[in-house]
Structure 1
Amino acid sequence: MSVIAVVNSKGGSGKSTLATHIAAWLASRGEEVMLGDIDRLQSSRLWLALRKPEHARIHGWSIDEKNFARPPAGVKHVVLDTPGGFHGFGLMKVTMHADAILIPAAGGVFDRNSASGSVKELRNCPRVAAGRCKLACVGMRIDARTRNAETVRAWADANELEWLGTVRMAQAYSKCLEHGLSLFDLPAEKVDTLLPDWAPLTHWLEGILAAAGPQPGSHGSREELRASRPALASRPVLPAR
């Protein structure tokens, strides 16, 4: 199992856009994926409720931020959308299970300052300090007409965070979220100018998935399949439809 969390203590930093797109990217590859919504606003769960059955299926998991527990057995990949102000024991519990934590950061000074606080707290968590939970930064909602991309990258470099590029501000994201969609659910020719923004991130995630377990085409043993299928089917919390 791989667990990927999206963390920034500032609200409105692009966490839900990032989490939903990662989950949809995994689902588009034919992966079994669960989108866990720790955010009290339940933005990701609303996105799942808007998603149509004909699109690649993503299971939902609603979690109390104070009582986060190990993800259910039988799930191959988990993506966690966390709330603004997320810190302390709840954040530490997430790092106990996460293989990677992505930190979305916008160009504003308040966004970077908030992200700095999250990075500092994360690096005090044992699994992050030991390198078992990887950290990386993604510039979110970047206006291509400004120098915000360079500003956020300089901030990431100063904080010794792996830089995974920027996701430009575009109306397509708002339209996708309105219908429970992502760029990865649309015909590539319709979003061919935006998809390259995601290439550094998805390439990095492929490395995380490879370290966490078998890749597509390597489905594990028959015993593992028999063990995982009943566990998945027996948990009514999974389908968020």
Structure 2
Amino acid sequence: MIPATTFQAASTEAKSTPVICARNINFAFGEGELRKQILFDVSLDVAAGEIVLLTGPSGSGKTTLLTLIGALRQFREGELTVLNRRLHGASPADLIATRRDIGFIFQQHNLLEFLTAKQNVELIFELHPHVTAAQVHQKSLQILKDVGLDERVDYYPARLSGGQKQRVAVARALAAGPRLILADEPTAALDSQSGRDVVNLLQRLARTGGCPVLMVTHDSRILDVADRIIHMEDGRIMS
């Protein structure tokens, strides 16, 4: 089990204070005749320590919503507060500051093939220049041990299985002590056991550190970890 001390930097906000607060979000790609609206009047809250799953068919806007919450895209209509930062109209510096406090996990592990597992994890600390080289080394080794890869720290991705690669991606997302985890289909490419291992890691993070997890998934095998399931269709929250 991952010790609570690993995640001391995680958020400890009271559950009554939303870590994510979205109100009446509309989002579209393109302009004029090429404009295609993706999100329609989307509102949701996510509290500290919650695990919330976003489900729905492909093309329903789940990933787009995740990128807005992750400060990866700007939007024009609605209000969105993430980690007490207002993102509507936020400056580039404010968006970058928000991203530093978020751990991103995606369906594709996005590891750099020419770096070892440890070096791939260490990349996240480029967003945290205040962390010393010695701390980067220690934190990277510790989180890889926590995800069960302490004997693979010097392996390159080509020598890792699919499940091990995704564990490295999870370790990279968690290493700097994020205050929010956003995950986009993190188990889609994994077998049943590897997928369960990944969501168990995220569940322990939420429970021990109060760090909320918002996860897009089509994987019915992991629905049991959710505190809430939000279903989306055609850019709208249906339930």
Normalised TM-score (structure 2): 0.30
Q: Which has the higher contact order (CA 8 A, sep 6+)?
A: 2
More helix by share: 1
